Amino acid sequence: MPRELEGKVGLVTGGTSGIGRETAVLFAKAGAKVVVAGRREHEGQETVDLIRAASGECLFVRTDVSKAPEVEAMVQQAIERFGRLDVTFNNAGIEGAYAPIVRQSEEDFDTTINVNLKGVWLCLKYEIRQMLRQAGGGAIVNMASVFGLVGSAGTSAYSASKHGVIGLTKTAALENAKKGIRVNAVCPGFVETPMSDRTLRFPTAHKFAVSCHPMGRLGKPAEVAEAVLWMCSERASFMTGQVLGLDGGFLAGPSSPS
């Protein structure tokens, strides 16, 4: 594949599995030195091993993105090891509990917002701060969701967090457009990941999720990773403040009966 991130340093949060792992490996194959961040050390090391097997250079940093000191340290370790930060994918997130608003606990709401929304805000804060210090700017992609564009009964905290990520993305893009820093978001539908496996663990739930996608299937992590790579590359150099849907037609309208 083209080495379009040659000489650049990438950072992927939530790089321990699923879309994050796929993107971290793809960044490395495209020539980037990669910092993999996440809370699970064993899974993080598995991602590191995959990158090294592909002859990539990488570093794992254990990070809880909801905690400012850990996010600041994550960026600092990236700089100490590789000297700069060029492309980032703020992917870390959780699904939260599935419950109507009247039955959702305050604790679960706070946890979901802290990871999915505050975590992206903290990452943006420290990533942009570093990119402003260095020559060449940078490119950032935030993980949103189709549920950042529409509501979904039973997912109030998750949906609110992803709507918030889109607001953060547009604001950060406007604040930094003239400074050489691009900020965009990706909005996948249901993708075959450990998170969706948990959410769709019952056959009826899985069947319903598939039916919501006119293509008749769930997405694959590699399909999202390829889009993130493109958004971080020079091929998307005039793109900022945008939200890219990768949803198998989910948002186009109801799927026709087969």
Residue 100 lies in a domain: yes
Nearest to 141 by CA among 173, 164, 101, 109: 173
Q: What does the alpha-carbon distance between residue 71 and residue 54 come to, in Å, rounded to a whole number?
A: 27
Domain that holds residue 103: 9-189+226-246
CATH of the domain at 111: 3.40.50.720
Which contacts (CB < 8 Å, 24+ apart) does range 210-217 have? 211/255, 212/250, 212/255, 213/189, 213/247, 213/248, 213/249, 213/250, 213/255, 214/248, 214/249, 214/250, 214/252, 214/253, 214/255, 214/256, 215/248, 215/249, 216/248, 216/255, 216/258, 217/248
145 within a domain of the structure (yes/no)? yes
Phi-psi region of 10 (alpha: psi -120 to 50; beta: other; left: phi over 0): beta
For residue 61, give the H/E element and its range. Answer: strand 58-62
Residue 211 counted as domain residue:
no
Give the span between the Cα atoms of 104 and 108, in whole angstroms. 7
Q: What pLDDT does residue 234 have? A: 96
Structure tokens at 24: 């971290």
Please give the structure tokens belonging to residue 86. 């060029």
Residue 202's pLDDT is 66
Q: What pLDDT score does 196 carry?
A: 67
Question: How high is the pLDDT of residue 201?
Answer: 67
- Cβ atoms 35, 92 nearer than 8 A: no
Tally the domains of the chain.
Answer: 1
Task: State the DSSP code for 37.
Answer: E
In degrees, to the nearest 5, what angle opens at C-alpha 89 toward C-alphas 242 and 51?
A: 140
- Give me the tens of pLDDT residue by residue for the chain, a chain 258 residues long: 678 999 999 999 999 999 999 999 999 999 999 999 999 999 999 999 999 998 899 999 999 999 999 999 999 999 999 999 999 999 999 988 889 999 999 999 999 999 999 999 999 999 999 999 999 999 999 999 999 999 989 999 999 999 999 999 999 999 999 999 999 999 999 888 777 667 766 677 778 777 778 898 998 999 999 999 999 999 999 999 999 999 999 999 766 544
For residue 206, being part of any structural domain is answered with no
Structure tokens at 25: 């490996």
User: For residue 209, is it within any domain?
Assistant: no
Instruction: Please identify every residue annotated as catalytic.
Output: 158
| Residue 198 included in any domain | no
Residue 187, pLDDT score: 97
pTM: 0.93
Tokens linked to 199: 């959410």
What's the pLDDT score for residue 87? 98
Helix (H, G, I), strand (E, B) or coil at 83: coil
pLDDT of residue 204: 76
Q: Tell me the H-state helices in the chain.
A: 18-29, 41-53, 68-82, 106-113, 119-133, 156-176, 194-199, 203-211, 221-232
Residue the block writes with tokens 């998170």: 195
Residue 214 domain-assigned? no
